Amino acid sequence: MHHVPLGVSDLAVSRICFGCWQLSPQFWGDVPLDGWRAAVRRAPDLGVNFLDTADAYGDGFAETELGRLFADPMLRDRFVLATKFYWNFDESETRFPDTRRARILRACENSLMRLRTDRIDLYQVHAWDALTRPDEVAEALIQLRREGKIRWIGVSNFNVEQLAVYRARMEVVCLQPPYSLLARDVEARELPYCLANRIGVIAYSPLFRGLLTGKHAPGTKLGDSRDEHPFFAEKALGRLQAGLAKLQPLADAEGLTLAQFAVRWVITHPALTSAIVGVKKPEHLEGIVKAAEGALSQETWHRAAKIMASAKKDAEALREQP
Ligand SMILES: NC(=O)c1ccc[n+]([C@@H]2O[C@H](COP(=O)([O-])OP(=O)(O)OC[C@H]3O[C@@H](n4cnc5c(N)ncnc54)[C@H](OP(=O)(O)O)[C@@H]3O)[C@@H](O)[C@H]2O)c1
């Protein structure tokens, strides 16, 4: 798979990134670990050299499981490793946002220990923390870079104003926003801003938590947090799947499955560096890598966008009904 630079950093990353949120039992239930481990081991052979995790995924669980695999340093070195900090889950029964200096320094030490590595390639602020001064965040992150514990800094779920505040204080090489055929808010401001300022963009939930694969039958309980999401409710999912049925011929014409088409749609946007796909087993990764082998035409991209915008409107209309 083709690798591309991540913003202005010296990191070269695959256009598909392996997302590790699935090892968060609170959201995804118990994912069989044998299949997940096999997927991580398989990734580099498929050309996927980019891994995204967070200290908060399973409150350390995802990082710990990756660390077990990285006991083999040869495997660790085959990845550009990205993790995140933001939630304090050490000091209280309830998680709370905490990007104060001391917490960042400790969070980084904890991540390094769990991941059994001596450096994090991309250290991301998971979300904007309204209570901590940006100067304090920057001071901690610059210190960690100077010490060689982290190589580059990224942010997630930030808007343009928040990005600008951080960028005035330190080098930020990428933004991690949600982006898919069903989540396009960042198209208006964040994507043009990143494009203009050479900030990499790594999109999360490109399949809208799997919905855009079209494989979930309306009315089926998935046994995870998706059962609470309004778009996975029976009627809404039915309306969104009517949109996917209209998308199918476009995917067929490209020789792609719906899942591959949805990911290719995301990475066709010129601001996009990579799409972060949530993976539980090797088949998820094997079934998606083809998405990175090309781009959609301008016409196909817009047709697909229009189809799913209309299906989304139909699904959202259900919420307005009494
Ligand atoms: N920064 C943030 O705040 C944030 C938030 C959310 C996610 N993320 C990151 O982004 C990653 C991806 O997001 P996500 O997990 O929400 O959603 P996603 O990638 O849109 O969807 C993942 C789901 O899609 C299905 N899937 C994946 N590959 C498939 C394939 N080849 N064929 C058929 N189905 C396939 C699986 O569903 P089934 O489980 O039903 O098989 C999988 O659980 C996360 O793992 C995480 O690293 C970051």
pLDDT of the chain, 322 residues: tens digit per residue: 889 999 999 999 999 999 999 999 999 999 999 999 999 999 999 999 999 999 999 999 999 999 999 999 899 999 999 999 999 998 778 899 999 999 999 999 999 999 999 999 999 999 999 999 999 999 999 999 999 999 999 999 999 999 999 999 999 999 999 999 999 999 999 999 999 999 999 999 999 999 999 999 999 999 999 999 999 999 999 999 999 999 999 999 999 999 999 999 999 999 999 999 999 999 999 999 999 999 999 999 999 999 999 999 999 998 776 5
**Domain contains 95:** yes
* Residue 119 lies in domain: 3-213+259-296
Assigned domain for 35 exists: yes
**C-alpha pair distances (Å), 8 with each of 3, 11, 162, 198, 273:** 14, 8, 19, 7, 11
Which residue from 277, 283, 290 has its CB within 8 A of the most atoms of ligand 1, so it is best to mutate? 277
For residue 177, which atom of ligand 1 is closest to its CA? 1
CA distance between the termini of the chain: 49
Under 8 Å between Cβ of 66 and 115: yes
- Residue 56, domain CATH: 3.20.20.100
Residue 76 included in any domain:
yes
- The whole-number pLDDT of residue 321 equals 67
- Which pLDDT score, from 0 to 100, does residue 322 have? 58
Q: Is 303 exposed, middle or buried (0-12, 13-18, 19+ CB in 10 A)?
A: middle
Burial state string for 161-174 with b = 16 or more CB within 10 A and e = fewer than 16: ebbeebbebbebbb
In a domain, 7, yes or no: yes
Helix (H) or strand (E) holding 155, with range, is strand 150-156
**Residue 243, in any domain of the structure:** no
Q: Is the CB of 154 under 6 A from ligand 1?
A: no
Helices 101-115 and 134-146, axial angle in degrees (round to 10): 40
Q: Is 210 in the pocket of ligand 1 (CB under 6 A)?
A: yes
The neighbour count for residue 102, using CB atoms within 10 Å, is 10
What is the rounded CA–CA span in Å between residue 67 and residue 178? 26
Distance of alpha carbon 285 from alpha carbon 251, whole angstroms: 18
- Residue 107, domain member (yes or no): yes
User: For residue 301, is it within any domain?
Assistant: no
Residue 260 CB less than 6 A away from ligand 1: no
CB 112 within 8 A of CB 118: yes
Name the closest-CA residue to atom 32, ligand 1.
284
Task: Tell me whether residue 100 is in a domain.
Answer: yes
pLDDT at residue number 319: 78
Q: How many structural domains is the chain composed of?
A: 1
Pairing of the two strands 87-88 and 96-97: antiparallel
pLDDT at 1: 82
